[in-house]
Structure 1
Amino acid sequence: MVHEGHGAARVGHGERITEHENHPAAVGCVTGGGAALRARWAESAPRPGRRVAALAIALLLTTTAACGGVPGRGHESAGPANTSEAALTYGTGPVRDPSITYQPDVVIVEGGPRAIRSASSDGLTWTIDGNARGAQGVRPGKVLYATSRAVGRVQEVRRVHGDVVATLGPVEFTEVFRDAHLTLDQDIDSGALHYLEIPDLPGAVTVPADASTDVATEAEKDAAKDAAQGAPTIARMIGQTSVRAAHSGRVGTVVARGPVRRATAAGGTLPPARSSSVTADLGEWKAQPYRSPGAFGLKFDHKAAAGLKVFVDFSLKTEKLHVRSDVPISGGRVADGATFAVEGIKSVAISIAAGAANGVIDNSKIRAEVPVQMTLPIAGTPFAFNISWKFSVATALGGNNTTVTAGGEWGLDGAIGMVNGSIVTPKLSVIKSIMDSITGISVGVSGIASAVEFKVQVGVGVPAAFAGPYAKLVMDFGVTNGSALGAPLTRCVGATLDGKVGGGVGVSVSAVAMAALKKLLPTMKFQVQQESLTPFVHKQQTLPDVPLCKS
């Protein structure tokens, strides 16, 4: 469960691997030989009513051939390089073991992170030591497996100064592993997680927001629906492409201010993972994932240089965050009844502040897949642990010098994800009502809608299309503040709240990101399965409860 700061990863029965956060050569990887892990897993398998607090992760594979019949050689990448900066950035090397079977077209490159020269800033093109064992077998159409991050269907291969340069597309979990049983019962030491920036993450930003394709706010969807029925509150109008300015009768269009350009890493390569947080520039917006003792969060804001100012802080309070997984794979298929669940999220909170100097013409929309992920390689296994974020926001501020502020917190009781093949959702309770906090100044009705996705995953693959079991939480928020001109009668305020949970095994990638990948990789043949989210809360309220505010 979550222990922030300088902690330790435990393997099996009490083995301790100390972390030294300021020394990259000794940080961040949970290490241990795979055979020993399997033996300890057999001894410490969960019994009814008993939770294993230490790491228990194993690949129990039913055949004796590795990589289409290649004999096993023990675990590659069990050496010091696994705990280096390279391992934190690129992941650990694949496991080759008599008990492990990969799909026949998987090409294993040995050497783990030591074999990686560099990766491109979009995480798709990998330069590999041409002398590494297996490198000469990399061909278009094959599945390259060099490290847990350098996994994908090969789209293009070049030889440069003796090295192999391979461009990778997405690959499903079962396109890598033919027979496996991934079991995990692990407390997450958030202090061990590092931040990995992917400066040119495909599909990271769309402006205006493509809310209908992903992460999308229910507030925006309800807004468009209710606006069509003539509802007056802006929270119900945010989904429209325009909002009405106060008094003038004119319509101001919600606009994006020019193309989004994100800074690229020096030399166009993937920057090293780091222990301190990273702020991503997203055009006129910026986003910063963060972790602190007992919390994970995402801050995003609109830069103050323009007339619009927006700040949103979304946070999850946690207590002993825990991941539980039981995913059997047989014959390249995930067996029925798989489990991947995240436990220990105790509450979700949001703080919103927005202001517009010029009213309607300052309004903005954005949808973003944050190009900063939290990651931790799991040495002795072929996997990495990954946390990723998405958000969308749309403002509808209706007059000059308008401001809107609000904040709320809600308790969550129960796991998120998938248990025995079924989605599980938490129960929600109100800790701090957002309705009581809505305030601001405006001559017109104003509001803001936002959504945030928090996804936890264990697996392999390029950053844009990580593959493996996952669980995600999506929260949508919308607030409305009535016009000050109506204050002599009454000031109407409104809010919407929606929560959904998703889970599964495979590649969880948005339609926007997939479209970007297809543009970058025209030869790619990959179909994303339709994902459905399970709602666990939908609340909408307007105060005061009088006809004027409901008309």
Structure 2
Amino acid sequence: MMLLRRLLAGLVAGAILISACGCSTSAQPPVQPEDPYSPSQMSFGSTPIPGQGATFQPDVVVIAAGAAAVESVSDDGLTWMLDPNAPGVGDLAPGKVLFVTSRGVGRIVDASRSGADLAVTLAPVTITDVIKDGSFASTSAISLDKAIVYQTPQPFWADPQGASEDGAPRIGPASYRPGVDLPTVPGIGTDAATVAGGFGVTSTCCESGVGAAFSYGAGGIKIEGSIALEMSQPHASFALNIAGGEVTNASFHLLGAAGLKLAVAAGTSPDGFTNINRALPVSAEFTVPVATILGVPLSVTVNQYLNVQTTFSAKTAYISANGEYSFSGDLGFDYSNKTFTPSFVSDPQVKTSILDSAKILSVGVNGIAFDDHVKFTIGLGAYGFKAGVYFTLTATLGLTLGSALATGSIVCRGAQLDLWGDYGVGYDIPKPVTALINFFLKHFNSTPIASSGGIAGPAKNFFDRAVVEPDSKICKK
């Protein structure tokens, strides 16, 4: 298999007959891109084609063999095992930017031999670190009904709580190179089960929406919950113009958003419990190939990130609630003249009230809060380290339920639901994940990365609903 892949790498490079350097601006005859749903392209990403109109930054090394030059990828998505004999691979060095596939893009922090392969470890880049000049746009609606599921074992960055006593992630030494194939072969699908932050998480996407169901049972606490952005025939559109390494205008729009549905139930043990505050970076992602434009293979990627926190005050407590909201419109933004103009769904309507459905069995005041960040990106990269045009929808729920023992006959109940939009051009990584990535990069004496890069508009809270019942002074203290 390895020999066959290396032969393919040589054949592809010979057939294309172009330089691996991305700095060339000379136009080449049109080359038909490979099928993004072929086994090799699904496994490692679509192959770039230099010389088709896009100008890359001078330090970008484009590997013309693309997926045929890739032997394997580490389960954290940061280390790519490449065929050292593939044209262009010999030019790779720390500080340069690797562009081997639509998923294999990043600034090189280490490149060293590992057996018969070259192990190349990458740090995230923004889109203008790769592309100097180019205009990219969808020519028709991008349907999200044929997503490729990428599912990996729990990488170190998916468990911010799984750190040593000094706060460092439990990862291998600097010489560690996990040169094995992804354990789950990517394929077209609608769901993926992973582990994040000690929770079991099942992600769903994208034909009828994007959601996550999560469960936890440890330390005397049991939690089950779910949240879903419901969509009807979801589709997207985008545009991105880059001139001289600067974004001049851009847009992203997601249409088909129809509502939000959420539910949660949690309880404590009679033998004692420990409240939790967990970050859940979900390692499964869903990708829809868009097109190879000017030789650059672009895709839509959907990632999720959750946080869950409990504030129980009593043993043998139980709380539950569910809610459903409907809305219409699109999510996205337009950017021109250095100004962002965001778009948000309008007029959310309550179909099922969280408080009306809330139940509690407890002698104290108890609460639970969780938030779900759903990020849509059109661009380059993988596993949340993706650069391009993006929009993140964040839904936050806080639920507090009291006890009649503390307030006489009155049982106080409170709930708050917020919807936020974050958007921009570049990359945006959750801060707990960034901290773990930077600790990992210390092994290579690499400069720490920022949690975001590129340009971004101001985050907007476009739906804010807080309800306290009953309407009494005791409950509003």
Given the two structures, how large is their TM-score scaled by the length of structure 2?
0.84
Taking the aligned partners of 1:324 and 1:360, their CA distance within structure 2 comes to 51
Asked whether the equivalents of residues 185 and 323 of structure 1 are also in contact (C-alpha less than 8 Å), the reply is no
Q: Report matched runs for 1:134-153 at 5 Å.
A: 134-153=88-107
Matched residue, 1:394: 309
The number of residue pairs the alignment matches comes to 435
Matched residue, 1:550: 476
Q: Report matched runs for 1:315-354 at 5 Å.
A: 315-336=228-249, 338-354=250-266
Matched residue, 1:246: none
User: With CA pairs under 8 Å and 6+ residues apart, which has the higher RCO, 1 or 2?
Assistant: 1
Q: 1:416 deviation in Å?
A: 1.6
Taking the aligned partners of 2:227 and 2:418, their CA distance within structure 1 comes to 14
Matched residue, 2:466: 540
Letter in 2 for 1:174: T
Q: Secondary structure at the match of 2:316?
A: strand
Q: Secondary structure at the match of 2:94?
A: coil
The answer to whether structure 1 residue 155 and structure 2 residue 70 are counterparts is: no
Q: Report matched runs for 1:54-69 at 5 Å.
A: 67-69=22-24
Q: Report matched runs for 1:431-446 at 5 Å.
A: 431-446=351-366
Q: Which moved more, 1:182-191 or 1:277-286?
A: 182-191
Matched residue, 2:327: 412
Letter in 1 for 2:469: L
Given the two structures, how large is their TM-score scaled by the length of structure 1?
0.73
Q: 1:186 deviation in Å?
A: 4.9
Q: 1:121 deviation in Å?
A: 1.0
The answer to whether structure 1 residue 173 and structure 2 residue 95 are counterparts is: no
Q: Report matched runs for 1:41-80 at 5 Å.
A: 67-69=22-24, 71-74=26-29, 78-79=33-34
The answer to whether structure 1 residue 425 and structure 2 residue 347 are counterparts is: no
The CA RMSD measured in Å over matched residues stands at 2.9
Matched residue, 1:183: 137
Q: Report matched runs for 1:18-417 at 5 Å.
A: 67-69=22-24, 71-74=26-29, 78-79=33-34, 82-184=36-138, 186-201=140-155, 203-207=157-161, 269-271=181-183, 272-276=185-189, 277-282=191-196, 284-291=198-205, 293-303=207-217, 306-336=219-249, 338-358=250-270, 361-381=273-293, 382-417=297-332
Asked whether the equivalents of residues 137 and 239 of structure 2 are also in contact (C-alpha less than 8 Å), the reply is yes
Gapped runs of 5+ residues in structure 1? 1-64, 210-255
Q: 1:161 deviation in Å?
A: 4.7
Taking the aligned partners of 1:359 and 1:411, their CA distance within structure 2 comes to 41
Q: 1:354 deviation in Å?
A: 0.7
| 1:77/1:394 CA distance change after superposition, 3 Å | farther
Letter in 1 for 2:187: R
The answer to whether structure 1 residue 474 and structure 2 residue 474 are counterparts is: no
Q: Which moved more, 1:479-488 or 1:387-396?
A: 479-488
Taking the aligned partners of 2:95 and 2:308, their CA distance within structure 1 comes to 39
Asked whether the equivalents of residues 147 and 206 of structure 2 are also in contact (C-alpha less than 8 Å), the reply is no
Taking the aligned partners of 2:139 and 2:224, their CA distance within structure 1 comes to 36
Taking the aligned partners of 1:261 and 1:285, their CA distance within structure 2 comes to 18
Q: 1:267 deviation in Å?
A: 6.7
Letter in 2 for 1:330: A
Taking the aligned partners of 1:322 and 1:189, their CA distance within structure 2 comes to 4
Taking the aligned partners of 1:161 and 1:267, their CA distance within structure 2 comes to 9
CA offsets per residue over residues 110-144 of structure 1, 9 Å max, x none? 22212210011111111112222211111111111
CA offsets per residue over residues 355-404 of structure 1, 9 Å max, x none? 11148733212012111111133453422220000100111122221111
Matched residue, 2:174: none
Asked whether the equivalents of residues 414 and 467 of structure 2 are also in contact (C-alpha less than 8 Å), the reply is yes
| 1:182/1:313 CA distance change after superposition, 3 Å | same
Matched residue, 1:59: none
Matched residue, 2:3: none
Which consecutive segments of 4 or more residues in structure 1 shift more than 6 A? 258-262
Q: Secondary structure at the match of 2:50?
A: coil
| 1:166/1:504 CA distance change after superposition, 3 Å | same
Asked whether the equivalents of residues 72 and 180 of structure 2 are also in contact (C-alpha less than 8 Å), the reply is no
The answer to whether structure 1 residue 448 and structure 2 residue 368 are counterparts is: yes
Q: Which moved more, 1:276-285 or 1:398-407?
A: 276-285
| 1:520/1:202 CA distance change after superposition, 3 Å | same
Letter in 1 for 2:274: D
Asked whether the equivalents of residues 145 and 151 of structure 1 are also in contact (C-alpha less than 8 Å), the reply is yes
Q: Which moved more, 1:489-498 or 1:71-80?
A: 71-80
Gapped runs of 5+ residues in structure 2? 1-19, 172-176
Taking the aligned partners of 1:270 and 1:366, their CA distance within structure 2 comes to 26
| 1:331/1:283 CA distance change after superposition, 3 Å | closer
Asked whether the equivalents of residues 471 and 504 of structure 1 are also in contact (C-alpha less than 8 Å), the reply is yes
Matched residue, 2:9: none
Q: Secondary structure at the match of 1:171?
A: coil
Letter in 1 for 2:195: D
Q: Secondary structure at the match of 2:381?
A: coil
Letter in 1 for 2:60: V
CA offsets per residue over residues 51-91 of structure 1, 9 Å max, x none? xxxxxxxxxxxxxx9821264545668235x4223312321
Asked whether the equivalents of residues 183 and 326 of structure 1 are also in contact (C-alpha less than 8 Å), the reply is yes
Asked whether the equivalents of residues 261 and 282 of structure 1 are also in contact (C-alpha less than 8 Å), the reply is no
Q: 1:471 deviation in Å?
A: 0.8
Q: 1:205 deviation in Å?
A: 2.7
Letter in 2 for 1:459: G
Asked whether the equivalents of residues 131 and 163 of structure 1 are also in contact (C-alpha less than 8 Å), the reply is no
Taking the aligned partners of 2:245 and 2:202, their CA distance within structure 1 comes to 38
Matched residue, 2:426: 506
